[in-house]
Structure 1
Amino acid sequence: MDKTRFRCKNVDKGCQRIAYDIKLKQIFSRYDVNKDGRLSKEELKNAFSELGSHVPMFRAFLALHHADKNGDRFIDIDQEEEMRALVQYAAQLGYDIEGGKL
């Protein structure tokens, strides 16, 4: 087995995952419609709707459960831990973003 080819495939997959996560973060950030730096359940519902969820309110509820680390019922966009948890939750659902489904 050519180890160089194997390594490149893994790097490509990692790069695809990073790009996918960045796109998810951009989508969620766009839905901060009141520009308060936080995502409410309603804003999350709208984002999950764009992503193609059949049950966006349920997804918003679960996203808050997974990512709201300080318990204020919002996802703070500038809080790295909360945004990372939100993106990880959404990424595991495998939404197709411009053909970038993982």
Structure 2
Amino acid sequence: MALKTRSVTSDGKRVMTMEEFKRWLKKFDADKDGRISKNELREAIYATGGRFATWKSHRGIKSVDANGNGFIDEGELNNLVEFAEKHLGIRIAQF
């Protein structure tokens, strides 16, 4: 699942808006329940060429899952930005 973006920065990060990021991430919602599970986040990490995807997906869920249900819900997607910039090679830009 290719990651299409507006541009790539000099440090190799893909630039996209928050809405583009949300749309891209929702492509990994395999069961279409509107939430991102640890396994779905792992697939997103793999898609970006990321290494240590299992470990990173565990850390990602743990760091952004505000209600502790084990999933990233719609309301928690904004919390995922810092994780995405650090571990997915994505920069969220305000256009």
- In the TM superposition, what is the alpha-carbon distance from 1:28 to its structure 2 partner? 1.4
- Residue identity (%): 28
Distance 1:84 1:41 in 2: 17
Q: How does 1:5-84 map to 2 (within 5 A)?
A: 19-76=16-73, 78-79=74-75, 82-84=76-78
Runs of 4+ that moved beyond 6 A: none
Please identify which structure carries the higher helix content: 1
Structure 2 segments unaligned to the other structure (5+ residues): 1-13
Structure 1 segments unaligned to the other structure (5+ residues): 1-15
TM-score, length of structure 1 as denominator length:
0.65
Alpha carbon RMSD of aligned pairs, Å? 2.6
Helix, strand or coil for the counterpart of 2:67? coil
Larger radius of gyration: 1
TM-score, length of structure 2 as denominator length:
0.70
Please identify which structure carries the higher strand content: 2
Higher RCO (CA 8 Å, separation ≥ 6 residues) = 2
- 1:45–1:60 contact (8 Å) kept in structure 2: yes
Q: For each residue in 1:33-86, what CA deviation from the matched residue of structure 2 results, as whole angstroms up to 9, or x when unmatched?
A: 11101111110100111011111111101111111000000001x21xx10111
2:78 maps to a residue whose letter is R
